[in-house]
Amino acid sequence: MKKILILHNSAPGYSKYFIKLGSKLKYKGFSIIHAFSSECEYEKSKRYIEDEYYILRAVKSNDIVNKYSHYNLNNALFSDVERATYYSTGFNWSNKNNVDLLKSSLLSFFETIISEHKVDYVLYENVSNSFAYYSWFVCQELGVRYVGLIQSRLPGRFSITSTPLCGREELIDLFNQLKNQSIEPEPYLDEYLGKLEHTQPDYMITNNSSQTNVFKKYRAKGVLDKTNTIFLSGFNRCIGSYQLRNYFKYFFSIFVRDVGRAVKLRRLSSYYDDFSLSETYYLYPLHFHPESSTSVLASVYVDELNNIKNIANNLPHNAYLYVKDHPSAAGYPSMRFYHELKKIHNVKVLDQANDTKRLIKGSLAVITVTGTTGYEALLLGKKVFVLGEVFFDFHVNVRNINNLKCLFAELSDIELVLNGDDLDRYNYRFLYAYFKSTSEGLFNIKDINTIGTVAESLVDALKCDV
């Protein structure tokens, strides 16, 4: 019987979703084990669990850290370090002894479970935080497959990834396999391309981060559930948790951040610039922070103000940089952030409500860290400059920016490698490979009604006898 180790995090609804998914997989013949990052996470979920479970404990071992020293152990912590700068998570990341103990604890935890139980798969979302990243290190060392679930950019489909790069390697392999093959028309893709300019990815539809009314947002999130979580957990009961040590402080910091955002949005209307699609401009879409798309895939580019200054300093003399606010993040950055953007002579700051695809079509090119806007720009026939690592960065019309010293020369060259009919054929092959690398189902932890389809597709993807 194949064994699956399921990881759990503190996101609302996360454990409930994955426990139910585990039950579906158990029914299909898998053996299930659960791993929690803290006692607190387990306490919230124990009434649903019938399988074996393990809770992260402190284990000091220099030997195991040395054993894994060829992996980038510090960078793997960055997503949680960054999260702590936005929210009051309570862990002291400035204490070297604490961090060293955490490294050995995580490695010992996963190596013990995976080795002793002869685990075949580790199941989680994409590698999005240090708990997942350290499990991935152990998977690589012990030859175990990491199975990460992530919403794809294609509606109603999700990706199953085995690396932190969100399926990039699998997509490249499929794309290359199709190089000399004729591709039959795929009705799903024909419909998707026909509606591309009016289609949003599932993750933009299923999250409520674009809701700026604090009352409506918290009513939608379920304030009573959060209140129960805070008081059932205790104000400081989660002493062993490194990701979320104090629920009261954590949720209070989120609430304060949301209230501050609502206040700032009232002021931002005067900061947004007038613009014209007939101007000469490059488009730079801002990201939501903190998020794995930047903290894992582009940790050296999380300072977007620094990114924008470097880009603006290297633009061709007659071009603007249009910086478009993010629908789910507008108002979260400090007012100083917006002040600094306004000081840059060739930067225009655009309201998040503007139509992104119209902005793409009017641009010379799109510059992004890892954002979906870059993927959409490729399908709309634009060149894309990418700062981080993302699943579409192998596309022929993508230019990876690896050296900021060469930025001026890079941005001055906006010629497409392919265009016209050649680009249409290339894009269809690219999109067909992407479609084939995804699976049917809506992976949405807020909707347990979608679990059945996800479980069926997951079993098919694992291709194993159980």
Burial of 39 (0-12, 13-18, 19+ CB in 10 A): middle
> Which domain-ending residue is among 253, 268, 283?
268
pLDDT exceeds 50 at position 376: yes
- Residue 191, domain member (yes or no): no
- In this structure, the answer to whether residues 85 and 142 fall within a common structural domain is yes
CA–CA dist 341, 367 (Å, integer): 16
Q: Kindly indicate the confidence band of residue 102, based on its pLDDT and cuts at 50, 70 and 90.
A: very high
**What is the model's pLDDT at position 234?**
47
- In this structure, the answer to whether residues 164 and 283 fall within a common structural domain is no
* Average pLDDT in the chain: 90
> Which domain-ending residue is among 268, 283, 314?
268
By residue range, what is the domain housing residue 26?
A: 3-177+440-462
pLDDT exceeds 80 at position 12: no
In percent, the amount of the chain with pLDDT more than 70 equals 92
- Residue 324, domain member (yes or no): yes
- The number of angstroms, rounded, from the C-alpha of 434 to the middle of its chain's C-alpha atoms is 17
- In this structure, the answer to whether residues 209 and 280 fall within a common structural domain is no
Report the pLDDT averaged over residues 359-382: 97
- In this structure, the answer to whether residues 147 and 279 fall within a common structural domain is no
Q: Kindly indicate the confidence band of residue 240, based on its pLDDT and cuts at 50, 70 and 90.
A: low
pLDDT exceeds 60 at position 225: no
Triad 197, 200, 204: Cα angle to 5°: 155
pLDDT, one tens digit per residue, over 422-448 is 999 999 999 999 999 999 999 999 889
Q: Which residues contact 426 (CB under 8 A, 6 or more apart)?
A: 396, 418
In percent, the amount of the chain with pLDDT more than 90 equals 75
Report the pLDDT averaged over residues 212-233: 54
- In this structure, the answer to whether residues 325 and 445 fall within a common structural domain is no
- List the CATH number of the domain containing 378: 3.40.50.2000
**What is the model's pLDDT at position 466?**
47
- In this structure, the answer to whether residues 283 and 424 fall within a common structural domain is yes
Report the pLDDT averaged over residues 161-166: 90
- In this structure, the answer to whether residues 154 and 52 fall within a common structural domain is yes
- In this structure, the answer to whether residues 104 and 239 fall within a common structural domain is no
Q: Which of 189-203, 340-354, 357-371, 426-440 has the lowest mean pLDDT?
A: 189-203
- List the CATH number of the domain containing 39: 3.40.50
**What is the model's pLDDT at position 220?**
54
- Residue 192, domain member (yes or no): no
CA–CA dist 126, 160 (Å, integer): 8
Report the pLDDT averaged over residues 13-37: 94
pLDDT exceeds 70 at position 465: no
- In this structure, the answer to whether residues 235 and 368 fall within a common structural domain is no
Report the pLDDT averaged over residues 116-141: 97
- Residue 357, domain member (yes or no): yes
pLDDT exceeds 60 at position 222: no
CA–CA dist 226, 232 (Å, integer): 10
CB 53 within 8 A of CB 8: no
* Domain count across the chain: 3
**What is the model's pLDDT at position 236?**
42
- Residue 288, domain member (yes or no): yes
CB 134 within 8 A of CB 107: yes
Note the pTM of the prediction, 2 decimals. Answer: 0.92
Q: Kindly indicate the confidence band of residue 241, based on its pLDDT and cuts at 50, 70 and 90.
A: confident
- Residue 196, domain member (yes or no): no
- In this structure, the answer to whether residues 308 and 252 fall within a common structural domain is no
**What is the model's pLDDT at position 224?**
46
Identify which has the larger pLDDT, 167 or 346: 346
- In this structure, the answer to whether residues 355 and 448 fall within a common structural domain is no
- In this structure, the answer to whether residues 427 and 306 fall within a common structural domain is yes
pLDDT exceeds 50 at position 161: yes
Identify which has the larger pLDDT, 232 or 343: 343
- Helical spans, DSSP H, in 222-246: 223-233
Angle subtended by helix axes 420-436 and 168-177, to nearest 10 = 120
pLDDT, one tens digit per residue, over 38-81 is 888 888 888 889 899 999 999 999 999 999 999 999 999 999 99
- Residue 455, domain member (yes or no): yes
Q: Is the dihedral of CA 210, 214, 215, 218 positive or negative?
A: positive
